Amino acid sequence: MKHLSIIILSIFSLIIYSCGGHNSSPASNTADTTTANAANASASSNTTSSTGDASFSCKIDGKDFSGKGTDQIVNAATVHAPGIIYFSLSPNFSGDPGADMRAGGLGFEVPDKGTTVIRGVEDPRYSIGYNLPNDLTNTYRCKEMTITINSSGTRVTGTFSGILIEPKTDREVPVTNGKFDIPYSTYSKN
């Protein structure tokens, strides 16, 4: 139970810094949720089927960002609330939540299925943020991100793309070609 509390605390520290709500217009702070059909919900035809395997890849600002494997905390999904999941994607994980947070990565708090467009922080149920390694105070906020989720009893697959905002300069940072195939964490009650 103590280990689970540490995990939850670590997850919420990333979420607190995610979409910071500093968008310039109220129109850019809305969330649209639509139901995706099964053909659009698949992340890749090369997904894994084992509940222990995990993989993800994308380009952030034109640079490859990818990883494989899971320690059941990083690169694994947990049920945050009914219909909402949380997961972080990072190429580095050690099993130590503090070290894992310092490794940097993408954090998602999103619906557990379908296609969702997240714009800013108007809908506080959803958030996306990105941290560079060893720079937790420089969390890139979500300007707009489209994420498609397909959940099964043991796995979450999906795609994502959009724009993050670098907080020190307000520069728009593109995120493209995102895809993931991760298990539900053994810590999650899905």
Please say whether the dihedral angle defined by the alpha carbons of residues 117, 178, 138 and 105, taken in this order, is positive or negative: positive
CA–CA separation, 130 and 106 (whole Å) = 4
CA–CA separation, 66 and 103 (whole Å) = 13
Token pair, residue 74, equals: 């990083």
pLDDT score at 117:
94
pLDDT along the chain (190 residues), means of 10: 35 37 34 35 34 86 93 90 92 74 85 92 84 81 94 92 94 97 85
The conformation of residue 183, written as its DSSP 8-state character, comes to E
CA–CA separation, 80 and 149 (whole Å) = 15
pLDDT score at 101:
66
